[in-house]
Structure 1
Amino acid sequence: MTLREFEYIIAVGDTLSFSRAAELCHVSQPTLSSQVKKIEGSLGVTIFERSNRRVHITAVGADIIASARRILREVAVMRETATTAQEPLAGRFNLGAFPTLASYLFPQVLPKIRKTLPDLSLVLREEKTDVLIEELRQGTLDAAFIALPVDDPALIAAKLFDDDFYLAVPADHTLARHKSVPTDVLREHRLLLLEEGHCLRDQALDICHIVGSGGQTDYRATSLETLRQMVKIGSGITLMPKLAIEPSDDTIVYLPFQGRPPHRTIGLVWRKTSKRTAIYEAIIDMF
């Protein structure tokens, strides 16, 4: 068996489709199918049950796919170790961030990374936090900017900064004339939230729970920019992280909270087994 054949069975396992797996692996479907049959014949087991309409992973097939993933991860670590030994601050580097952070942090930090690490070939990835964590585990990401804490024994997290939340209200809102507001004000007003799956939504709901507010449920935005537009037209108010504030926009007023403001803590996260420590340390030093 070859590493390429392992990639084939993983692709079929991920897509549950031989045609889509072939596209992902850039081979013809007959080629991929024959190679999968070859692996099954070599092992003497059925990895996939096939029908005209669907592909099903057998119990033993799930174990074999999991083993194939582990093997490919170990090979990736081996290659990374060799590359790092030769050029510790060079090579391809896959860096991720979640959507409510990526659009605002990447433009700030990328020029610094390029200046400090000019030989590093950056590949950026924007995804929700749970996807980023899984890709870190699988080895398809080298590091990611994630809201802490991250509770995973396979990963290391280093705090970078706290990003305070502000209350975003329309310029003609009754609160707009205030210089700051208490968090209790969230009990009295309609709060717009992101859709489920965004860590910023979870953070906002945590804040709402602390102050005894519910948050609006009949509208859920897909992005911070959508939330911003909804605030502009007077559909409600929302929590906006400082990093995403646009001070030149006079249609929205961003109010700081009184006392210790609610915030999200942003960190750099990577695998414990990674050998690219010099790069992680260089990025951390930029904050």
Structure 2
Amino acid sequence: MGERIDEEISFRRLEVLLAFMEGGSLGKAAELLDVSTVSVHRALHSLEKGMRCKLFDHQGRQLIPTDAARALASTAREVLTAMSVGIRTAREVAGYSSSVLRLGSLYSLTLGTVPAIIAELKARGTELEVDLTLGSNTELIERLTQGTLDAALLAVPELGAEFQSIQLFEDEIYFAAPAGSRYADLESIDLQTCSHEPFVSLDEGFATYHGFHHAFHLAGATPTVIMTVGDVFSLTSLVSGGVGYTLLPGRVRGLLNDKVRFIPLSDRFRMKQKIGLIFSSIRERDPTLLKLGVACRAIARARSRNQTGS
């Protein structure tokens, strides 16, 4: 290991030195950096202290760089250039400001939300290639934590400080029954009256799975689940085939709508999911995620206007 560098010698102070050498005065350096003259003078003084050698001669109020200052500036220019390349490379490896957006989504959101966001990105001239990963809430949050996804569209859970979210919409949860069943023409469903029926469900880890069991907990009943599946499309097909009943979010009402009825839950069992985009807080300034955030907010506003109008 080489000689340790004094903590007074920082990248920022080397940038100040280069600005001073380029501008030729404290005032010009301050203009280039958009800071005060006092800040420039303090930075140069700290740099000289850390170097433990004279970098400037004083002629009245003027600072005259020494040969030592010129030698340091030459090396600083190389170091800062190399560091800029290193930062850019590290960000590319981490997916920061990448041309590829690694987006996670619930299966159910591929019906309308994901295509709408991609269309909005293209309409805004954002040239991003979207690499889409589908999974449950739990799987997507794990991938975000591991850094293998840039952002995810899901049912927003309680978030700690490590994540941020942008809400897109709230989605109602319905009782799903085959067309022609005894429940198909009801205006609402009291889960206590149907808890004895056979049910099908999503696997554990999906937000709808937890909502399903919470609703029956409120009803004071334990549903008989005869089958679980890993995606909402298979689940809807099982309902249409008469295998069992389930609870489904309203966003999938377009699936098999001639074979499956979506019936509102009675007031005390009503549930809504908050659907949104979540991403790591440390990447809130990532240009790629800023573009995605703008698109998501535009989709949310358009949806809100449509709901208000209807």
- Same topology, TM > 0.5: yes
The answer to whether structure 1 residue 137 and structure 2 residue 140 are counterparts is no
CA deviation vs aligned residue, 1:54-96 (integer Å, no higher than 9, x gap): xxxxxxxxxxxxxxxxxxxx98764489975xxxxx7221111
- Residue equivalent to 2:272: 263
The answer to whether structure 1 residue 279 and structure 2 residue 291 are counterparts is yes
CA contact (8 A) 1:171 1:253 kept: yes
Candidates 130, 142, 157, aligned match of 2:165: 157
* Residue 214 to residue 107, structure 1, CA distance change in 2 (3 Å): farther
Distance in 1, matches of 2:95 and 2:160, equals: 26
Report SS of the residue matched to 2:282: coil
* Residue 100 to residue 247, structure 1, CA distance change in 2 (3 Å): closer
Q: CA deviation at 1:233?
A: 2.6
CA deviation vs aligned residue, 1:191-249 (integer Å, no higher than 9, x gap): 32122333321221112212223222332123222222222232221111111112763
Residue 286 of structure 1 aligns to which amino acid in structure 2?
I
CA contact (8 A) 2:126 2:291 kept: no
Q: CA deviation at 1:117?
A: 4.4
CA deviation vs aligned residue, 1:30-69 (integer Å, no higher than 9, x gap): xxxxxxxxxxxxxxxxxxxxxxxxxxxxxxxxxxxxxxxx
Distance in 2, matches of 1:226 and 1:79, equals: 37
Percent identity between the two aligned chains: 22
* Residue 212 to residue 138, structure 1, CA distance change in 2 (3 Å): same
Distance in 1, matches of 2:126 and 2:245, equals: 42
- Residue equivalent to 1:56: none
Q: CA deviation at 1:164?
A: 0.7
For these two proteins, the number of residue pairs brought into alignment is 209
Q: CA deviation at 1:104?
A: 4.8
* Residue 270 to residue 184, structure 1, CA distance change in 2 (3 Å): same
* Residue 79 to residue 233, structure 1, CA distance change in 2 (3 Å): closer
* Structural mapping, 1:194-233, within 5 Å: 194-233=202-241
Query: Which of the pair has more CA radius of gyration?
Result: 2
Can you give the 5+ residue segments of structure 1 that lack an aligned partner in the other structure? Answer: 1-73, 85-89
CA contact (8 A) 1:105 1:243 kept: no
The answer to whether structure 1 residue 176 and structure 2 residue 197 are counterparts is no
Distance in 2, matches of 1:146 and 1:264, equals: 9
What TM-score, normalized by structure 1, do the two folds share?
0.63
Distance in 2, matches of 1:112 and 1:280, equals: 9
* Residue 238 to residue 117, structure 1, CA distance change in 2 (3 Å): farther
* Structural mapping, 1:17-56, within 5 Å: none
Q: CA deviation at 1:270?
A: 0.6
Distance in 2, matches of 1:83 and 1:220, equals: 37
Residue 138 of structure 1 aligns to which amino acid in structure 2?
Q
* Residue 76 to residue 245, structure 1, CA distance change in 2 (3 Å): farther
Distance in 1, matches of 2:255 and 2:232, equals: 15
The alignment's C-alpha RMSD in Å is 2.9
- Residue equivalent to 1:240: 248
